[in-house]
Amino acid sequence: MALRIETFDNARGGNTLYKALTHPAAAPSGRALIGKLARHAPIAIYDAGGALEAFSAFYDLDQIEIDGVYVQQVPRVGDVVLGRRTRPITELACYRARAVFVAVFDSERVVAQMRPYLPEGAEVFSLDALRVPADRLTNSRRYLDPLNFATNFAFFSRWRRPAHSAGHSELLVRIRSRPCQLLDDVVCRRRQVIGRMVPRL
């Protein structure tokens, strides 16, 4: 089954939501968020910006009891998201959710607007739990700004032929998430027979 994620758009370029959700520094926080949601089940989910299915593709929500999925845009009411028909956000207060997961970054304004519809005593969680440290951001005011997730930079250093290898060489590659910020060193293998690059993870 194909993952319901969008990594690139011809008009907008790379999808920064995808990059934010899959950032190595976000993974531990994402797993911790899933644990919190499970402990507060049943939860309601407000899919304010259409990010819910992409989040669930990487951080599985299938094992969490979900009371309902809510949206604001009228054309999206009745759509199927995570196997559930979406409801208007105005109905949120009528249900029994112990917590509400707001599937959006920079959630402060969104949460303020939906507060009249929150169930009494419900705790609020959001994608802001996955934010990388502020000192890694170029634009701290807009988290999904493309400048914060410019992960398409690769700096090639040198070829080497390991003693154990036969018929291929290895290329040391340094990948940066933004200029001057080294994230990791990975080793790519070049198969000389077909001349294509294959990452070795």
d(CA 24, CA 21): 9
CA dist., res. 2 & res. 177, Å (int)? 26
pLDDT, tens only, 119-171: 888 999 999 999 999 988 889 899 999 888 875 544 444 545 555 555 554 44
- Taking the C-alpha atoms of residue 38 and residue 31, their distance in angstroms, rounded to an integer, is 11
Within 10 A of 27 (CB to CB), how many other CB atoms are there?
14
Local structure of 133: helix, strand or coil: coil
Cα–Cα dist 164/104, whole Å? 48
Query: Residue 199 above 80 pLDDT?
Result: no
Backbone angles phi, psi at 32, to 5 degrees: -65, -40
CA 197 to the chain's CA centroid: 26
Model confidence over 165-187: pLDDT tens digits?
Answer: 555 544 444 444 444 333 343 33
Structural domain 8-134, CATH architecture: 3-Layer(aba) Sandwich (3.40)
What is the residue type of 7? T
Mean model confidence pLDDT for the chain: 77
Predicted pLDDT at 3: 53
List, by residue range, all CATH 3.40.50.720 domains of the chain: 8-134
Burial 78-114 (b: 16+ CB within 10 A, else e): eeebbeeebbebeebeeeebbbbbbbbbebeebbeeb
Instruction: Provide the pLDDT for residue 200.
Output: 41
pTM of the model: 0.70
| DSSP sequence for 76-102 | GTT-EETTEE-EEGGGGGGS--SEEEE
SS3 135: helix
Contact 70, 90 (CB under 8 A): no
Nearest to 103 by CA among 74, 61, 146: 61
